[in-house]
Structure 1
Amino acid sequence: MNILKTFKKNNAPQNLLLICMILAGIWSLIQLNWQAFIAWGCCFVLFVMFCFQRDHSNYLMDQLRELRRERLGFDKEDLE
């Protein structure tokens, strides 16, 4: 479900890569090329890991900004 939320964001290169990966996975299954499908699975797992890592890093950065704002009394404009 989170993959669909990530897909809806405005990430055109990432969405294009995801579409190409899905087509490659389907094609490897059609041809019954199990080695290619296993390699595709590994690449897909890495793709998902990097997407979630980026989202998690953005979440942590937002929390850090909020804590700085609370502790130091900065306005939002001062931090950016």
Structure 2
Amino acid sequence: MTAYRTRILQDVIDRRLTTRLAATRFGISDSHFRRLLQRYREHKQFSVVNRHRGEPGNRQLLPGLAGRALRI
């Protein structure tokens, strides 16, 4: 999917596609797409990947809590 997204972002930069049409292809608002485009211009390929990759999830239990619950 990232190749598809980068191609659309590059089409907008090359003025072959409008931001409004690109946003509808992504299924997001025009303002959200403009923020994504700005991040792409600054960081290129790394902006398309989720920035929270490799970090623990928000719903993760504290260490040892699952073991305590099972002992009870």
| Short-chain TM bin | 0.3 to 0.5
1 or 2 for the larger relative contact order (CA 8 Å, sep ≥6)? 2
The structure where helix makes up a greater share of residues is 1
TM value normalised by structure 1: 0.34
State TM-score, norm by structure 2: 0.36
